[in-house]
Chain A
Amino acid sequence: MIQRLWAWLTGYLVLKFKGPGVEILFNRILDADWDLWDIERLSVDTLIAKISIKGFRKIRPLVRDLPVRINIVGKYGFPFYLNKAQTRYFLFIGFIVFAILLYYLSGFIWFVQITGLEQVSKEEVIEILIDQGVQVGTRKTDLSPRSIENQIMSEISEIAWVGISVRGVLAKIQIVEKSMPDPSTQLVGDVIAARDGIITQVMTFRGIPQVRVGDTVRKGDVLISGEYYDQYGRKQHGRAEGLVRARVWYEAIGEAAFYRIIQQRTGNSHTGYVLKIGGKELGFRKKPPFENYVVEKSDWKLDIVNGFQLLQTTKLVYYEVVYETVVIPEEEARALALMRAWEMLEAEGIEKHKITETQIREYTIVDDYGVRIGLLVELEDDIGAFASAKQE
């Protein structure tokens, strides 16, 4: 394998030997230390063999006194390949032009990649980059990454670090943003009561508690104060944080009537028509012969121009109706009232399935017309709410 490769690299010839006494010539070649390979006898006086280019040059004097004729049948290997290439000027020129072009084009930025952006908009960064000349088609030698980095840092304050690296034709711009603290946690203020209640638990994380367990508080009372005195005795404003739980009450009232009025058609009807020409009404409208009725309208229109009605007929059907009062059984009314009361509580954010029976007080008022159910729910809830102090 290695020998074959070496033979190809240095070049070899396929020779045809014709005449008697080829063996003598072969022995002379061997004695001169030149190798032959792939020897084949084609006919009684003809042989082919392969020999290296160098070896071929040296065998000429060896063959002089022998009745052997040598012809070159084929030339193989890299040196001949190179010779061939020399005759193909344009292939060669094309290759060189390609190489030069590749080298030249690799001197430009072809891709710009920006990573690490979260808060800052990409357009903002791209604008600065274009200003600084970083874009597709910029020569790499024209770039000065350090000054561009500084420019971006100075123009966008939210950026903590910028790294620009050019790898081949890719300009990589890595950006690290400053992590801005959430402004809401920066505020100073107190924890106040969101609703009335009796305190059951006070857990202070920051600040000075103003209430104790068992205290009754009203909505808006300060539960934990953010004000404190520092080691020099000066009054300071801080942010109070904590958990204050209290027994609170929610009340809701649901009502339901014992009667319901239902509209019912008697089956009698009366039909009338109205004709409109050019917006003017030509009435054939007669008063319907019923005291209570509902009307069903159906129009037929002829539009000439958009919006202007040339001709319109309206069919009016009057149906006679009577009103009936239906009595709702008390049980049904109670259930409806209770459901409405619960709906009100749930609208306030109370989850029904979390409340135990003992926490609910129910009272019912019944009169001739309906039923009213009041629900009083007692539960323990977090009543603390943060109220930011006014900055002085």
Chain B
Amino acid sequence: MAKLLKAMTDILELPSDIMMSLPKIEIIGNMEATIENHRGLLEYTTEQISIRGNKGITLILRGRKLRLKRLYKEEITIQGFLLDIEFSID
């Protein structure tokens, strides 16, 4: 089923974030990152923020002086000095 959906979005060139409700990440320099389609905050410290996405994806952002500019149901905006982003799939 998931394979079919992916094939369809590829063929029809549909935006995959909407079709497959995957997290969409928008990064501005190393200062700000906005994550849409998230499923909650797992961990928040000034050095590391973990965000759960759909399909078992977990997003880990590391940096310094991190803070949550916005924590809304539809999006999370992180500000601070970003160092790296890691994806882990369960």
Which chain A residues have a beta carbon within 8 Å of chain B's beta carbons? 22-23, 26-27, 30-31, 33, 35-41, 47, 49
Q: Are B73 and A41 in contact (CB under 8 A)?
A: no
Q: In whole Å, how far is B28's beta carbon from the nearest beta carbon of chain A?
A: 17
> For B69, what are the chain A residues with a Cβ–Cβ distance below 8 Å?
37-39
| The 7 A-B residue pairs with the shortest CB-CB distance in the complex, in nearest-first order | A39-B68, A36-B71, A27-B40, A40-B67, A35-B72, A30-B73, A37-B70
Query: Hey, what's the 0/1 contact readout for B61-89 against A, CB within 8 Å counting as 1?
Result: 00000011111110000000000000000
B46 on the A face (CB < 8 A): yes
Q: Are B45 and A37 in contact (CB under 8 A)?
A: no
The chain B residue sitting closest to A40, CB to CB, is B67
> For A26, what are the chain B residues with a Cβ–Cβ distance below 8 Å?
40-41, 44, 71
> For A39, what are the chain B residues with a Cβ–Cβ distance below 8 Å?
44, 67-69, 71
Query: Hey, what's the 0/1 contact readout for B48-71 against A, CB within 8 Å counting as 1?
Result: 000000000000000000011111
Q: Can you name 7 extra interface pairs (CB under 8 A) apart from A31-B73, A37-B68, A37-B71?
A: A23-B43, A30-B71, A35-B70, A39-B67, A40-B67, A41-B44, A41-B46
> For B43, what are the chain A residues with a Cβ–Cβ distance below 8 Å?
23
Q: In whole Å, how far is A319's beta carbon from the nearest beta carbon of chain B?
A: 112
C-alpha gap A36/B69 in the complex (Å): 9
Q: Are B71 and A35 in contact (CB under 8 A)?
A: yes
Q: In whole Å, how far is B55's beta carbon from the nearest beta carbon of chain A?
A: 18
C-alpha gap A23/B73 in the complex (Å): 14
Instruction: Please report the total number of B residues contacting A with Cβ < 8 Å.
Output: 14
Q: In whole Å, how far is A50's beta carbon from the nearest beta carbon of chain B?
A: 10
Query: Hey, what's the 0/1 contact readout for B14-57 against A, CB within 8 Å counting as 1?
Result: 00000000000000000000000000111111100000000000
Q: Are B44 and A30 in contact (CB under 8 A)?
A: no
Q: Are B73 and A38 in contact (CB under 8 A)?
A: no
> For A27, what are the chain B residues with a Cβ–Cβ distance below 8 Å?
40-41
> For B67, what are the chain A residues with a Cβ–Cβ distance below 8 Å?
38-41
> For A33, what are the chain B residues with a Cβ–Cβ distance below 8 Å?
73
Q: Are B46 and A35 in contact (CB under 8 A)?
A: no
Q: In whole Å, how far is A4's beta carbon from the nearest beta carbon of chain B?
A: 11
Q: In whole Å, how far is A41's beta carbon from the nearest beta carbon of chain B?
A: 5
Q: Are B42 and A23 in contact (CB under 8 A)?
A: yes
Q: In whole Å, how far is B72's beta carbon from the nearest beta carbon of chain A?
A: 5
The chain B residue sitting closest to A23, CB to CB, is B41
C-alpha gap A121/B13 in the complex (Å): 87
Q: Are B40 and A36 in contact (CB under 8 A)?
A: no
C-alpha gap A27/B41 in the complex (Å): 6
C-alpha gap A38/B77 in the complex (Å): 10
Q: Are A23 and B44 in contact (CB under 8 A)?
A: yes
C-alpha gap A33/B73 in the complex (Å): 6
Q: In whole Å, how far is B82's beta carbon from the nearest beta carbon of chain A?
A: 16
The chain B residue sitting closest to A42, CB to CB, is B46
Q: In whole Å, how far is B38's beta carbon from the nearest beta carbon of chain A?
A: 9
